[in-house]
Structure 1
Amino acid sequence: MLVPPADILLVDDNPTNLDVLARVLKRQNHRVRTVTSGAMALEAMRRQPPEVVLMDVAMPEMDGYDTCLAMGQDANLSLIPVIFISAMDSPLDKVKAFQSGGRDYVTKPFSSDEVLARVEHQVTLRRMQKHLEQQNQSLLDANLKLKEIHVLKANFTAMLVHDLRSPLTGVGLVLDALKEGQAIRPSTLDQALASFGRVQTLLEEMLDLHRSEHGQLPIEAVPFEPVPWLESVADHFQVRAHDAGILLQTQWPETLPMITGDRSKLDRVLHNLLGNAIKFTPRGGAVKLEAGMEFGSGVEAGLRFLRLGIIDTGRGIPADQLPFIFDPFRQAEPGDAQRGFGLGLAIVQRLVAAHQGQIRAQSQPGFGTSFTVLLPL
């Protein structure tokens, strides 16, 4: 046998013919089903489409030609190859068979080797056709994905230009004033310095993103105590939260196990998550930084993690956007480009991954968002 076993449906109103043909095919390990009418054949094919049908022409009520025509009108059956097996061997009979949609024609009495060869030929062609269809669909999907990436990168570039142009314009105005000998007010100078700092941050984020995409994000891991670290991060954000009219809450045990990691990189993780939480929480809301132990389950059974949680009562993230918040080429909402470029979360995810950790997000629009970071101990 030249092909692996196939699923074959035999259609003939003569049980003896079905038995002879089935034995020939089963000797080659083909999986064979038999029915005795065209109507039964259509029902069997709709329940489970075979790879090839061997069908007699002369059958009562619904002959082979009519059955083949009915298959051609059903989108789920039209591509199944039909081999007619009939005692009628005139040229007109064969022409009618092909006109009704048949792929091949074998005359009775038939040779076993001929039937097997024709079956294997049709099975091979159908399998090649299916493989080609799958390849074409894969190419179509890949092409659509490339187009989507192209659009996302174009939007990414546009947002990048926007985020660079705005602060650089402020810096440029100050430089022009200095060049002309004009006095610069301290507040204007402070704004220019802040704008320059935003440009530096954006460029650093771009560089970190490039490094992470190429596996070049260095981690200098050293042991350190989590509690003093968390206290220092909370102290840093207390003033910012107070100025924004937001209550910053903290909760963790008095002691936590030592953790090994790059503290400066983990600082960026918490600073980004807390900064976003405060940015998108309205005045009068609350942000909470919490920590604790978590034990792994399933494939992670026996492992221990330091769990960091950042919870806010902000506007939340729509469900259709939540799966893409760590994608550097997407922006949560178009208007957010003026409030931050959106590279931060992409970098946070990569920094956590570089520590063999995990990050997940949950959100409900109008109620808030929570981020959970798990770092292995």
Structure 2
Amino acid sequence: MSNTVLVVDDESTVRLLFRKILTRAGFAVLEAVNGEDALQQVDAALPGVILLDWVMPGLDGPEVCRLIRTNPKLLDSQIIMLSSRSELEDRVQGLDAGADDYLVKPCETKELLARVRSAMRIHELKHQLREKAAQLQETVAKLEELAHQREEFTAVLVHDIRSPLATVYGALELTELRAEETGIIDDELRRIFQHAYRTLDHITRLVNEVLDFSKAEAGEATLELELVAAGELVQEAADQVSLNAERKGITLRVEYPADLPSLLLDRGKMLRAIGNLLSNAIKFTPAGGTVTLRAERTEGVGLDAGKSFLVIHVEDTGPGIPAKDLPYIFNPYYQARQRTRQLGTGLGLAIVQRITAAHGGQVSVKSTEGVGTAFTIVLPTTKTCPLSSSSALSAADTEMG
């Protein structure tokens, strides 16, 4: 950034006058006696403002202006064309040559200083903007590199965890089989085996969840669209978690009308989204509580008039989510204070939001502490998905977490 003004004029009296005025105003002043001299100085001096006379021997002002504009080092420099020509056509010609302003000679000192100060402010702002843009570009490059490193790390980590998990799972099955064959197994040992299997399944789901989200962030996941009956989708989602609800002593209610529409969507991923909400509801609802899965078709109002939507509700009678946590509940890795006692990645709701958004829908939450929580997914019933089947979205075809 420069506070330097280059005065380009073949008349020494004009240069001397401008030097005195500008120096008193606090500017550093350089002088050039003609166009060729100006071109030699600008590359090294990089002046913030150039006062450029129109009529000079050799290269005239417009020619010098056009040549300066080809120098990438001087993109931020402001050029004020000086001329005794005051006709509109002359002003237009000077500005078309690349000048930023046009000043008719002779000019008042106040006007000259006002124009130079204004041009210098623009120069400073352009310089700052260019620096910020360069910093932003550098930051983006670093973030992209970090994202790439994270993606590679996640893939390696998941692979390194899955392999020993498979080994442990196989060893557990073999141990159970040997116990059955030797007749040493009893109810207590079966309970221990079942607990071990559930723990391994849970760890596997957590690993898959991290991998799914990593794929979504990297833009690698895709939608595999098909026409799906909404009623069948809702019932299938409920069936997949019914055993977990029964084991925990939770009543699972499923409510939907028989005339729900069919939608074009990715069946597996939408099951994942609904399943994540149901699994969370069951996880955080105490024994004896109720989890309700409801679905309905509604008509749009206002800007959505004439459109219809499938609305899916997942409601529980759990402890609820603190109001201060609600704005962040869909953020990746975020876990509400009331729920941190449960093991998880904090990615489940982020995945739900991305799956829903990829289908052109929205997900929202309402919660009251001590009463329960209600999540709502709203999907358009249009037969065409708003995003292409290659849209970046999470949720690989793995078990629901």
Q: TM-score, normalised by structure 2?
A: 0.52
Instruction: Tell me what 2:249 maps to.
Output: 245
**Structure 2: how far apart are the matches of 1:245 and 1:230?**
21
- Alpha-carbon distance in 1 for matches of 2:304, 2:125: 40
Amino acid in structure 1 at the alignment position of 2:378 = L
List per-residue Cα deviations over 1:349-371 (Å, max 9, x = no partner): 12212222221122222222111
| Structure 2 gaps, min length 5 | 1-105, 382-401
Match of 1:123 in 2: 118
Confirm whether residue 255 of structure 1 aligns to residue 296 of structure 2. Answer: no
- Structure 1, unaligned runs of 5 or more: 1-110
2 CA distance for matches of 1:360 and 1:376?
A: 15
Query: CA-to-partner distance for each residue in 1:9-48, whole Å, 9 max, x for gaps?
Result: xxxxxxxxxxxxxxxxxxxxxxxxxxxxxxxxxxxxxxxx
Aligned-pair Cα RMSD in Å: 4.2
Name the CA shift for 1:132/1:284 in 2 (closer, same or farther; >3 Å). farther
- Judge conservation of contact 1:247–1:284 (CA < 8 Å) in 2: yes
The one-letter amino acid of 2:284's match is F
> 1:221 — aligned with what?
225
Structure 2: which amino acid aligns with 1:114? T
Q: 1:304 aligns with which of 297, 303, 308?
A: 308
Q: Residues 235 and 196 of structure 1: is their aligned pair in 2 closer, same or farther, counting only changes over 3 Å? A: closer
Q: How big is the shift at 1:334?
A: 8.8
What's the secondary structure of 1:342's corresponding residue? coil
* Separation of aligned partners in 2, 1:206 and 1:268: 14
Number of residues paired by the alignment?
Answer: 252
Residue 273 of structure 1 deviates from its aligned partner by 0.4
Please list the CA deviations of residues 85-107 of structure 1 after superposition, one character each: whole Å capped at 9, or x if unmatched.
xxxxxxxxxxxxxxxxxxxxxxx
The match for 1:294 among 287, 293, 298 is 298
Aligned position for 2:357: 353
Distance 1:334-1:364 versus aligned 2 partners, 3 A rule: closer
Q: Deviations over 1:299-328 (max 9, x none)?
A: 433322111011122222222222222222
Q: Per the alignment, in what secondary structure is the counterpart of residue 341 of structure 1?
A: coil
Partner residue of 2:285?
281
Does structure 1 residue 370 correspond to structure 2 residue 374? yes
Aligned equivalent of 1:113? 108
Give 1:262 deviation, angstroms: 1.9
Asked whether the 8 Å contact 2:209–2:348 carries over to 1, the reply is yes
Q: Do the aligned residues in 2 keep the contact of 1:331 with 1:337 (CA within 8 Å)? A: no
Q: Paired residue for 2:333?
A: 329
Deviates more, 1:254-263 or 1:226-235: 226-235
Between 1 and 2, higher relative CO (CA 8 Å, sep ≥ 6) is seen in 2
Task: Give 1:278 shift.
Answer: 1.5
CA distance in 2, matches of 1:376, 1:312: 25
Identity %: 37
- In the TM superposition, residue 348 of structure 1 has moved relative to its aligned partner by 1.4
Residue 273 (structure 2) aligns with: 269
Q: Secondary structure at the match of 1:291?
A: strand
How far does residue 131 in structure 1 lie from its aligned partner after superposition? Answer: 7.2
Q: Secondary structure at the match of 2:264?
A: strand
- The answer for the alignment partner of 1:344 in structure 2 is 348
Note the C-alpha offset of 1:242.
3.6
Q: 1:113 to 1:365 in 2, by over 3 A?
A: farther
Determine the structure 2 residue equivalent to 1:33: none
User: 2:213: which partner in 1?
Assistant: 209
Tell whether 2:228 aligns with 1:233.
Answer: no
> Using the alignment, how far apart are the partners of 2:203 and 2:242 within structure 1?
25
Note if contact 1:328-1:343 (Cα within 8 Å) is conserved in structure 2. yes
Between the aligned partners of 2:267 and 2:340, the Cα distance in structure 1 is: 29
